[in-house]
Amino acid sequence: MKIYDESKNFSILKYTIIHFQPKNIFIPEYLEYIFACADLYSFDETLLLYTIICHKIINTLNPIDSKYIMQMWEKMKKAKSKMMFIEGCTVIGDILIKFHPEEYQDKFFEEVFDNFKTILNVSNMQDDTKFYQKFEVII
C-alpha cells in the first residue's frame, strides 16, 4: 500500500487493490486505514472509493461499524451526480439491511427520501429514466 500511496495516481491503483481483495480482508483495522486515506482524494474519488468498499462489504460476513456508514452517507448525500447519489444510497441501504437494526435503516431511508424530493424539484423527468429505475430498486 505504501508504494501505491506514493504514486502520482494512487487513487485508481487503490481502487483496484480494494476491488480485488478477498472479502475477508475487510476487518476493522483495514477499514480504519481506508477511511483515514479517503480524505486525501477528490470528492468524486472518495465517493467512488466508498461505493467500491460498500459493494465488497455487502458480500462479507463482517458488519461495518455505523461510524463508517455515517461518514460515507455524509459524503454520498452531497454527490453532484444523481447516479452516484442513487448508487451510494443503494449500497449503503444494502449494508444497513444486512447488518444493522431497523432504527438505523429507518433513519437512513427517511433521509434518502428527503434528498430524493429535493432532486425531484430540480430535475427534468425525461432525462432521468435510469435514475428513477435505480430509485425503484431502493424502494
Structural domain including 28 reads 2-138
Specify which of 40-44, 69-73, 132-136 reaches the highest per-range mean pLDDT: 69-73
Specify whether the CB–CB gap between 55 and 63 falls below 8 A. no
Higher-pLDDT residue of 132 and 101 is 101
CA-CA-CA-CA torsion for 13, 98, 100, 108, nearest 10 degrees? 80
DSSP 76-88: HTT-SSHHHHHHH
Q: Convert the pLDDT of each residue in 43-100 to its tens digit.
A: 888 888 888 888 888 887 777 888 888 989 998 888 888 888 888 888 899 999 998 9
Joined grid coordinates for residue 118: 429535493
The count of structural domains within the chain is 1
- Which band of pLDDT confidence, cut at 50, 70 and 90, is reported for residue 42? confident
How far apart, in whole angstroms, are the C-alpha atoms of residue 94 and residue 5?
30
